[in-house]
Amino acid sequence: MTDLTPTLAFLRERLTERPRVLLALGSGLGGIAEELEDAVRVPFAEIPGFAPVTVAGHKGVLVAGQLAGVECVALQGRFHVYEGHDPAAVALPIRAVAALGARTLVATNAAGALNPRFRRGDLMILDDHINFMFRNPLIGPVADGETRFPDMSRPYDPELQALAEQVALENGIRVSRGVYLALTGPNYETPAEAAMFRRLGADAVGMSTVPEVLVARALGVRVLGISLITDLPTGTAAEPQSHDDVLALATQAAARFERLLRGVLEGIATRPDVELA
């Protein structure tokens, strides 16, 4: 198991405030980190224990500051299993920022649609997930503050889901709820795989988030998950899938996505029940 001591010693020196919320920002969705006030920016490359970032659309910067009055740490970029990291390395930033005090994780990602009602650019609030990575960051000795057999009957926090839906309604943002299925990637799924995942009960498919959510839940950290639907079900779109298209769509959707996140943080700031329950 990775020793967090050097990571925490470094971050405690660089960050002046105790974070409440950790924002894990997916492909092309890192822009909101630029809006943090009184921001401290630390490139991942400087942080002991953090791996280098290799994926386009992931800046690899940790930004600490306030958003809507809430002390946040935003991760502009994440580590993926398909880059060759083991799941514990993928989840290390979650363990570190939770150890600094964050009790809420907002995990975001770009995902492909499986639900035929979804359109490109839709936002999906995660209701549940299916771990089709068959990898797990919790394997091994039990880490500090974690439980051996974490309950997963409600991985995504109902109050945060309701808050996100309310913010979406107030802002005229189309959102739905659904099940996210995580693959290691890096290839996109075949049409036969997509059809199978749909039959298994998934609404969207992606290559991230689940390792981070598993660690957060093992620590008792509350989770809100949001997917930006960047792709139609494979085989149904006119063009083959490409990461460039994923990033282009994320850029188009950024304003809506940022409005939703800001509204959620305003809700967290003014409704302490969301933190306390």
| By CB under 6 A, residue 249 contacts ligand HPA | no
Q: Which CB, 67 or 110, lies closer to ligand HPA?
A: 110
| By CB under 6 A, residue 33 contacts ligand HPA | no
259 contacts 35 by C-beta, under 8 angstroms: no
| By CB under 6 A, residue 54 contacts ligand HPA | no
Q: Which CB, 120 or 259, lies closer to ligand HPA?
A: 120
User: Treating both helix axes as pointing N-terminal to C-terminal, what angle do 158-170 and 243-270 enclose, rounded to 10 degrees?
Assistant: 100
Query: Which of 54, 136, 184, 241 is close enough to bind ligand HPA by CB under 6 A?
Result: 241
| By CB under 6 A, residue 29 contacts ligand HPA | no
Least distance (Å) from ligand HPA to the CB of residue 183? 6
Least distance (Å) from ligand HPA to the CB of residue 160? 23
Residue nearest to ligand HPA (CB): 112
| By CB under 6 A, residue 230 contacts ligand HPA | yes
**Which region among 43-51, 199-207, 214-222, 251-259 touches ligand HPA (by CB under 6 A)?**
199-207
DSSP per residue, 201-268: T-SEEESSSHHHHHHHHHTT-EEEEEEEEEEPSTTTSSS---HHHHHHHHHHHHHHHHHHHHHHHHHH
35-45: b (≥16 Cβ within 10 Å) or e: bbeeeebbebe
**Which region among 6-14, 107-115, 125-133, 140-148 touches ligand HPA (by CB under 6 A)?**
107-115
Q: Which CB, 84 or 145, lies closer to ligand HPA?
A: 84
Least distance (Å) from ligand HPA to the CB of residue 36? 25
Q: Which CB, 238 or 276, lies closer to ligand HPA?
A: 238
- Name residue 215's amino acid: V
Query: Which of 189, 210, 219, 223 is close enough to bind ligand HPA by CB under 6 A?
Result: 189
In DSSP terms, 175 is beta-bridged to 123
Query: Which of 19, 28, 30, 206 is close enough to bind ligand HPA by CB under 6 A?
Result: 206
Q: Which CB, 10 or 82, lies closer to ligand HPA?
A: 82
Name which of 171, 81, 91, 64 is nearest 132 in CA terms.
81
| By CB under 6 A, residue 211 contacts ligand HPA | no
| By CB under 6 A, residue 207 contacts ligand HPA | yes
Least distance (Å) from ligand HPA to the CB of residue 189? 6
- Name residue 223's amino acid: V
The Cα–Cα gap between 157 and 169 comes to 18
Q: What is the phi-psi region of residue 101: left when phi exceeds 0, alpha when psi lies from -120 to 50, beta otherwise?
A: left
| Peptide bond connecting 272 to the previous residue in cis, omega within 30 degrees of 0 | no
Name which of 216, 224, 205 is nearest 264 in CA terms.
224
Q: Which CB, 8 or 55, lies closer to ligand HPA?
A: 55
Whose tokens are 């394997």? That residue is 139
- Please give the residue ranges that form the binding site for ligand HPA (CB under 6 A): 110-112, 188-189, 205-207, 230-231, 241, 246
